[in-house]
Amino acid sequence: MVYDRNNIFAKILREEIPCKKYYENDFVLAFEDVYPQRKIHILVIPKGEYTDLDDFHRKASDIEIIEFFKAITHVAELLKVSAQFDGYRVISNVGSNAGQEVPHLHFHLVGGEKIGRMLPKRNDYG
Q: Is 106 one of the catalytic residues?
A: yes
34 near ligand DGP (CB under 6 A):
yes
Q: Is the dihedral of CA 78, 93, 126, 101 positive or negative?
A: positive
95 near ligand DGP (CB under 6 A):
no
Instruction: Identify the CA nearest to 23 among candidates 64, 70, 60.
Output: 70
Degrees (nearest 5) of the Cα angle 65, 25, 106?
50
Cα 125 to its chain centre, rounded Å, is 22
CB of 30 to ligand DGP, least distance (A): 11
107 near ligand DGP (CB under 6 A):
no
35 near ligand DGP (CB under 6 A):
yes
Tell me which residues touch ligand DGP (CB under 6 A): 8, 19, 31-35, 93, 99-102
